[in-house]
A and B are shown apart, each in its own frame.
Chain A
Amino acid sequence: EVQLLESGGGLVQPGGSLRLSCEGSGFIFNIYAMSWVRQAPGKGLEWVSVMSGSGASTYYADSVKGRFTISRDNSKNTVYLQMDSLRAEDTAVYYCAKGSLRGVVRKHWDYWGQGTLVTVSS
């Protein structure tokens, strides 16, 4: 059974940093792209970033480019989102999502984690 478990959310002050983690199980982690998607309170979904299975390719939304960094440790079946220079508008539930097709980045997601809440406030 595929499972994705996010952690690392919490309350952080504007300008601060936070690192989210998403541990995958039930699938061969290192051959699937992994994404982060967020949802501000009461709002819709926003794609944040994606990394290929090998880690060689990464893409970001303009709203986080230069502030957020996606990475992965395939030995730990974990993908990370390092969030720096956080702003109030980054407040959201952050979900990780698994790419559906082995070795392919530009494809839909088939599994989602339960999400972790990040609140940026003083």
Chain B
Amino acid sequence: DIQMTQSPSSLSASVGDRVTITCRASQDIGNDLAWLQQKPGRAPKSLIYDISNLETGVPSQFSGSGSGTDFNITISSLQPDDFATYYCQQYNTFPWTFGQGTKVEI
């Protein structure tokens, strides 16, 4: 199975901060990388697919980058609505796997 490792596991930040979360795959997954956001008690929401493409309606402060095995999601200016847990996920090879999550706290 492809292991997805996120760092950090959690972080504290303030509104307006620039935040970057890293995700590393245990093998090359090409472009098959997505980022999801989840708030407590809510379903996940898809934010970014194919490394850097924003889902419809996702604010432009979100961006994704990387290639091969190393990927990032960056929030350029953290907004109150962005405090949540973020997951990376690979859909290159079955079983599809997720990172362990990064909790972004105030």
- Report A43-86 CB contacts with B as 1/0, cut-off 8 Å: 01111001000000001011000000000000000000000000
Residues of B within 8 A of A50 (CB): 96
Chain A, interface size category, equals 20 to 34
| Residue pair B55, A107 in contact (C-beta under 8 Å) | no
Is B62 part of the binding interface, using a Cβ–Cβ cutoff of 8 Å? no
Q: What is the distance, in angstroms, from A59's C-beta to the closest C-beta of chain B?
A: 5
Bound complex: CA A41 to CA B32 (Å): 27
Residues of B within 8 A of A25 (CB): none
Bound complex: CA A52 to CA B106 (Å): 40
Residues of A within 8 A of B43 (CB): 95, 112-115
Interface residues of A (CB under 8 A from B): 37, 44-47, 50, 59, 61-62, 95, 100, 106-115
